[in-house]
């Protein structure tokens, strides 16, 4: 099978949108490791913002999240908020990404979220052992960064200029 994105492919909004919209399980088949390893933190945040846009387009809260393996940079899980669409109080972007990743050891991962996590998600992130969380927007919702830091989680703020 031919890959969709390879080491020589341009890292563009279209390429990142393709990653955001294809099933996570298909990524290792359709996207070469050489392409994924070239992605920066800003690129992963861009994918989270594109997932937030997907939620907004569906009539939901615009929040998206991506989980990567720190060593390989491979995307392990991604998701967007479906609280409104599915009428479920805990279908947040972060919980959707964790569900998508499955039962893995999160202690060697980073979670990128387009918006500062709510208290429920922040608690889940430190309980699951995420060593690092990258937050895209703290202007519209903030407050859990100190909670995460107090539990030993590294929190970085990386606003997406397009989001």
Angle ∠(163,87,120) on CA atoms, nearest 5: 65
Catalytic residue (one of 94, 119, 145, 159): 94
Q: Report whether 107 contacts 129 (CB < 8 A).
A: yes
What does the CA dihedral 65, 71, 76, 79 come to, rounded to 10 degrees?
A: 0
What's the DSSP call for residue 117? Answer: P
Q: Report whether 32 contacts 5 (CB < 8 A).
A: yes
Is 10 annotated as catalytic? no
| Residues with active-site annotation | 94
């Amino acid at each position: 099978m031919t890959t969709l994105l390879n080491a020589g492919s341009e890292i563009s909004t279209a390429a990142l949108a393709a990653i955001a919209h294809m099933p996570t399980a298909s990524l290792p088949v359709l996207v070469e490791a050489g392409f994924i390893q070239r992605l920066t933190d800003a690129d992963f945040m861009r994918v989270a913002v594109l997932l937030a846009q997907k939620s907004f387009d569906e009539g939901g809260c615009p929040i998206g999240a991506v989980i990567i393996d720190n060593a390989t940079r491979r995307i392990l899980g991604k998701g967007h908020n479906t609280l409104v669409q599915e009428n479920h109080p805990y279908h947040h972007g972060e919980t959707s990404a964790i569900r998508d990743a499955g039962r893995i050891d999160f202690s060697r991962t980073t979670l990128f979220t387009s918006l500062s996590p709510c208290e429920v998600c922040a608690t889940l992130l430190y309980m699951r052992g995420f060593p690092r969380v990258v937050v895209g927007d703290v202007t519209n919702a903030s407050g859990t960064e100190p909670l995460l830091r107090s539990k030993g989680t590294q929190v970085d703020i990386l606003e997406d200029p397009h989001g």
